[in-house]
C-alpha cells in the first residue's frame, strides 16, 4: 500500500538514517584509527590532571629503568605489533595490557609492583595503537590472540618460565579472553584484572549515563553495538567476560573500586560469583575507573606483590 511505503520511507530518512549516521560517527571515534596520531604514543587525556599525573609518573619509571629495556615485536593476524621488554633478571614476566586509546607508555605506570615482585615486564602497543599496525580496535575479541603470541615470545625466546597477565578495563577483558582460551599454555600462571566489566555493552551504556545523562540513547546505542559486531567482529552484547569467566581455570585477582561508575561494583561481584577458578576480589574505597592505583598506591602494589608470591608458591586463593 502506498501509505505504508510512504511511512517506511519517512521512518528511514527522518529517524533511522540520522541515528545510523550518529552511530557510525561514534563507532569511528571509539574504535577506528583514522590517522597515525590517533591512539598514538601520547597522553590520551591531557586536560585531566589526575590522568596526566599517572602518565608522567610512568614516564619517570620508564626513564629510570631504560637500561633494562629492549624493543621487541611479534606478528599476529599478519599485523606487526611492537612492545618494550624490561629485563630485571628474573625468570618470570608480566604483560601489562592497557585499554582502548592507550599506548605502552601508559602501561609504564602499572609496572612497578611487578618489578618489585621479581617479574620482568612487557608493555605493548595493542593493535591499532602506538607504533603497532592495525586500523580497527576489536575490544579484545581478536587482540587476545596477540596476547598469546606475546606469551610465546616471553617463554620461548626470552626464557621466562612463567607469564602473568595484568589488564586494565578493556585490557582486563583481553587478558581474560587469553587466559580462558583453550590454547592458553600452562606457563601462563594467572592474571589480575582492574575494573573488569561484564561486557562492553553495559560499560558503554554506563558511560552514556554519566557523560550524556540527558541525551537519548535509543536506538543509537543499539546501532553502535551492531556496527561493532559487523566491523570489529565483536559481539559485545551477549559475549564478554561474564560469558567467558566460567572457562577460566587459572588464578585471577580482581581489583575493583567502589567508586567505579563504568564497570560498576555489582558487575565485579557478578563476575566473581560466576568464576570457578582460584580467585580473589580486593576492594578499594577510592578511585574512578582505571584510577585505583593513583588513589591507593601502597595497597595496590602490596596486593600485586602478594598475588605474584601466591602464584610462585601455588597456594589456593581464598575468598
Q: Encode pLDDT of 220-240 as tens digits.
A: 999 999 999 999 999 999 999
Residue 216 forms part of a structural domain: no
Residue 276 forms part of a structural domain: yes
Taking alpha carbons only, the member of 134, 121, 59, 67 closest to residue 90 is: 121
Residue 93 forms part of a structural domain: yes
Q: Quick one: pLDDT band at residue 3, thresholds 50, 70, 90?
A: low
Residue 284 forms part of a structural domain: yes
Residue 317 has pLDDT above 80, yes or no: no
pLDDT, residue 15, reads 66
Q: Encode pLDDT of 87-125 as tens digits.
A: 999 999 999 999 999 999 999 999 999 999 999 999 999
Residue 215 forms part of a structural domain: no
Residue 294 forms part of a structural domain: yes
Query: Bridge partners of 256?
Result: 283
Q: Domain containing 114 — which CATH number?
A: 3.40.50.1820
Burial annotation 198-209 (CB, 10 A radius, 16+ → b, else e): bbbbbbbebebe
Region of 172 please: left (phi>0), alpha (psi -120 to 50) or beta: alpha
Range of the domain at 261: 61-198+240-313
Residue 7 has pLDDT above 60, yes or no: no
Residue 316 has pLDDT above 70, yes or no: no
Number of domains in the chain: 1
Is the Cβ–Cβ distance between 79 and 132 less than 8 Å?
A: yes
C-alpha cell at 46: 591531557
Residue 225 forms part of a structural domain: no
Residue 161 forms part of a structural domain: yes
SS3 133: coil
Which range, of 212-226, 234-248, 270-284, 291-305, averages the lowest pLDDT?
212-226
The torsion of the CA quartet 130, 181, 291, 271, rounded to 10 degrees, works out to: 150
* Mean pLDDT of the 267-271 span: 98
Amino acid at each position: 500500500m502506498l501509505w505504508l511505503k510512504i511511512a517506511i520511507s519517512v521512518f528511514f530518512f527522518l529517524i533511522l538514517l540520522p541515528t545510523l549516521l550518529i552511530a557510525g560517527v561514534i563507532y569511528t571515534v571509539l574504535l577506528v584509527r583514522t590517522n597515525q596520531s590517533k591512539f598514538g604514543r601520547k597522553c590520551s587525556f591531557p586536560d585531566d590532571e589526575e590522568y596526566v599525573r599517572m602518565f608522567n609518573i610512568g614516564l619517570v619509571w620508564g626513564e629510570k629503568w631504560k637500561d633494562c629495556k629492549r624493543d621487541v615485536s611479534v606478528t599476529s593476524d599478519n599485523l606487526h605489533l611492537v612492545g618494550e621488554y624490561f629485563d630485571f633478571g628474573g625468570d618470570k614476566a608480566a604483560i601489562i595490557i592497557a585499554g582502548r586509546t592507550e599506548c605502552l607508555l601508559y602501561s609504564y605506570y602499572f609496572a612497578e609492583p611487578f618489578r618489585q615482585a621479581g617479574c620482568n615486564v612487557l608493555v605493548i602497543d595493542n593493535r591499532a595503537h602506538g607504533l603497532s599496525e592495525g586500523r580497527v580496535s576489536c575490544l579484545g575479541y581478536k587482540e587476545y590472540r596477540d596476547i598469546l603470541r606475546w606469551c610465546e615470545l616471553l617463554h620461548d625466546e626470552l626464557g621466562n618460565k612463567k607469564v602473568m597477565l595484568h589488564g586494565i578495563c578493556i585490557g582486563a577483558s583481553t587478558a581474560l579472553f587469553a587466559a580462558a582460551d583453550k590454547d592458553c599454555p600452562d606457563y601462563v600462571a594467572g592474571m589480575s584484572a582492574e575494573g573488569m566489566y561484564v561486557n562492553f555493552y553495559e560499560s558503554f551504556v554506563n558511560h552514556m549515563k554519566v557523560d550524556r545523562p540527558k541525551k537519548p540513547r535509543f536506538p543509537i546505542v543499539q546501532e553502535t553495538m551492531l556496527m561493532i559486531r559487523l566491523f570489529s567482529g565483536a559481539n559485545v552484547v551477549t559475549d564478554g567476560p561474564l560469558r567467558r569467566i566460567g572457562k577460566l581455570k587459572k588464578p585471577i585477582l580482581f581489583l575493583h573500586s567502589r567508586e567505579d561508575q563504568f564497570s560498576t561494583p555489582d558487575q565485579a561481584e557478578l563476575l566473581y560469583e560466576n568464576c570457578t577458578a582460584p580467585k580473589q576480589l580486593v576492594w578499594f574505597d577510592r578511585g574512578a575507573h582505571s584510577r585505583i592505583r593513583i588513589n591507593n598506591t601502597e595497597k595496590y602494589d602490596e596486593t600485586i606483590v602478594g598475588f605474584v608470591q601466591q602464584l610462585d608458591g601455588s597456594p589456593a586463593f581464598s575468598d
